Chains A and B, each alone.
Chain A
Amino acid sequence: MRTPLTIRFLTSMPRKGWLALAIFALVAWVGVPMAHLMLPESSPFSVSAYTVTLMGKILCYAVVAVAMDLIWGYAGILSLGHGLFFALGGYGFGMYLMRQIGTDGSYGVNLPDFMVFLDWKELPWFWVGSDSFLWALVLVVAVPGALAFIFGYFAFRSRIKGVYFSIITQALTYAAMLLFFRNETGFGGNNGFTDFKRILGYDITSPEMRLTLFGLSAALLMFVLLLGRYLVTSKFGRVLAAIRDAESRVMFIGYQPLWYKLFIWTLSAVLCALAGALYVPQVGIINPSEMSAANSIEIAIWVAVGGRGTLVGPVIGAFIVNLAKSFFTVEFPEYWLFFLGFLFIGVTLFLPDGVVGLWRKLFARKPATETESPPPVQKPAAVPEKDEHLAAKGAAA
């Protein structure tokens, strides 16, 4: 028995959730643009360019956090390499942005500036086609996706998991960072890409472009939340949670965890890359330090602060940590690391379910079904679905 996809999709989230999403969309697509463009700067409700960019940036981070949560919270795989996929997405789109500079660079040549000081006369092969917007989008999705797929395939096939997996993802990211730091690699060395001028011919610094990017980031976040919601409430999501909680048992029942893990892992990487692609034009720079180990680990702390295994949690976490970062690094730069460090320690020791868990503990007396439902660990798996699956397996055999 299958419910139609649309209904299945609509019921994946309670009414409150849809309402919250609608409000969010309204604020991001109507409220903020109006406040930014129409209200005078003196108005208390005016939104400055700085705020729009900061929020757009954090929205991208929130997407990364949700992507991270999909594999960590729901599949139990802690990746310390999501910074890599994020940066690859950024680099993919950055190549397009560099080409859009055209002859407006400091050397006035139709080559990115860093190639001029390297004495390169023409674009290397992997830059071919990077002046096309569509090709840039393909690169953004395909490169990190392919890398994640290949890496994931071998890692999951060898049943590498837990800490081992975390450490080798870190090694992969570290290797990539070293590679991108080299000027010869052809991605601008430690300076990376910067000094962007336009997208599709439109000025990148104009308020309209800023708002478009902001709106797109909000749209991406909503899309990711919905997709995540759909996935985790599906049968797929339940198998995933089962793999997280007892992989051996799932295997003994007859599932092949490899493909489940590989799918969610690749999806998560691609979502990160999309966030990266939106992030770069908003902050105006991409360089290899995005791939540093610290960045990837910080993503994990956003998720942990917000609450693992929930979908709103990571969004909240990303906002809390990054707003705190903006505040501390301006007001008390010397205390930022102390704050972040103690946040890591405090959350792991005292708030294993993050802010969302705390909220639930304090306020929610109603059963969990009404609010964001926790991962369906406690719930009995739907029996008919499983039978169906086993039957399919039997037929195949």
Chain B
Amino acid sequence: MSAEGGSAKRFVLLGTDYVYPRTTNKILRAFLHSKGVKDEDIMEEYTPFGHSDYQTIIANIKKFASAGKKTAVVSTINGDSNVPFYKELGNAGLKATDVPVVAFSVGEEELRGVDTKPLLGHLAAWNYFMTIKNPVNAAFIKKYQDWAKKNNVPNADTVVTNDPMEATYVGIHMWAQAVEKAKSTDTDKVIAAMGGQTFKAPSGFTLTMDKTNHHLHKPVYIGEVKADGQFNVVWKTKEPIRAQPWSPFIAGNESKQGL
């Protein structure tokens, strides 16, 4: 919405029809309302899993975007449907500079099966990108690539790391630390030792596990797709932010902000 982000005034919330996109878009809509965006400037649309014919939806987005206000698409399209979606988007002549698409479920691994030409400049939001430059990440990537080669993972020479991998990597290490602290693998004891654990993550920050809700405090990155299927970080938070399991923008969640 800022000038730097493209000053978008209208928003298309496009997702696959299941819990995650529905909830995400519910929060997004509430957030946009709080910023003064009206309902008529929000288009919400869902497609079934594996949907592959995006002709009509792209035509609708075009129509929606042509009303004279800068439009952005927030995509929570899941998995396989992304390739047909972006292909159609590119072929229909909608470039990232006209109608940028921000995706929440497209990362490095997903882009391995994709012709990235039509995706250039579209955005993704994650807590980690493979392109982040720091020694921890370099070591993490190296370790994974060596492991893939050694274990004959298919196409081992092109394996990529992504946010879920980093999250798992961090998670397992934190668990190990908690086990060491608790001196036991007993579930309850480990849970008790878990809160407040810290770990120097490949994302370039030292992550902390929240003491109350056991979610991680993580940085947020926004990246633009490059031609090689990697992401160019164009925006990031200065430091990790606290995870809030209950959105402050949804009515009824006020009492849960401390959680």
Contact = CB atoms under 8 A, between A and B. Distances in A.
Given A181-B48, A181-B49, A182-B48, A190 B26 contact: no
A69 B49 CA distance: 33
B26 A189 contact: no
B19 A114 contact: yes
B255 to A, nearest CB: 11
B214 to A, nearest CB: 15
A181 B17 contact: yes
Contacts of A182: 17, 48
Q: How large is the interface on B (under 10, 10 to 19, 20 to 34, 35 or more residues)?
A: under 10
Contacts of A189: 17-19
A30 B18 CA distance: 43
B70 interface: no
Nearest to B16: A190
Contacts of B17: 181-183, 189-190
B26 A183 contact: no
Q: How large is the interface on A (under 10, 10 to 19, 20 to 34, 35 or more residues)?
A: 10 to 19
B257 interface: no
A178 B48 contact: yes
B46 interface: yes
Contact of A117 (B26, B46, B49): B26
Contact of A119 (B19, B26, B48, B49): B26
B30 to A, nearest CB: 10
Nearest to A183: B17
B48 A191 contact: no
Interface in B14-57: 17-19, 22-23, 26, 46, 48-49
A118 B15 CA distance: 14
B64 to A, nearest CB: 21
B22 A191 contact: no
Interface in A93-118: 114, 117-118
A63 to B, nearest CB: 30
B239 to A, nearest CB: 30
Contacts of B46: 183
Interface in A294-335: none
B23 A117 contact: yes
Contacts of B19: 114, 117, 189, 191
Interface in A72-130: 114, 117-119
A181 B49 CA distance: 8
A117 B19 CA distance: 7
B204 to A, nearest CB: 33
B18 A183 contact: yes
A50 B245 CA distance: 34
Interface string A185-203: 0000111000000000000
B51 to A, nearest CB: 10
B194 to A, nearest CB: 21
Nearest to B46: A183
Contacts of A190: 17-18, 49
A370 to B, nearest CB: 52
Contacts of B18: 183, 189-191
A189 B46 CA distance: 12
Interface in A155-210: 178, 181-183, 189-191
Nearest to B48: A181
Nearest to A177: B48
A178 B48 CA distance: 8
Contacts of B26: 117, 119
A118 B49 contact: no
A114 B22 CA distance: 10
A199 to B, nearest CB: 25
B48 A183 contact: no
A119 B251 CA distance: 11
A343 to B, nearest CB: 27
A87 to B, nearest CB: 17
A73 B49 CA distance: 35
Contacts of A119: 26
Nearest to B25: A117
A11 to B, nearest CB: 53
Contacts of A181: 17, 48-49
B22 A118 contact: yes
B245 to A, nearest CB: 10
B4 to A, nearest CB: 32
11 contacts: A114-B19, A117-B19, A118-B22, A119-B26, A178-B48, A181-B48, A189-B18, A189-B19, A190-B17, A190-B18, A191-B18
Given A118-B22, A182-B48, 11 more contacts: A117-B19, A117-B22, A117-B23, A178-B48, A182-B17, A183-B17, A183-B22, A183-B46, A190-B18, A190-B49, A191-B18
Interface of B: 17-19, 22-23, 26, 46, 48-49
4 closest pairs, A vs B, by CB? Answer: A190-B18, A117-B23, A181-B48, A117-B22
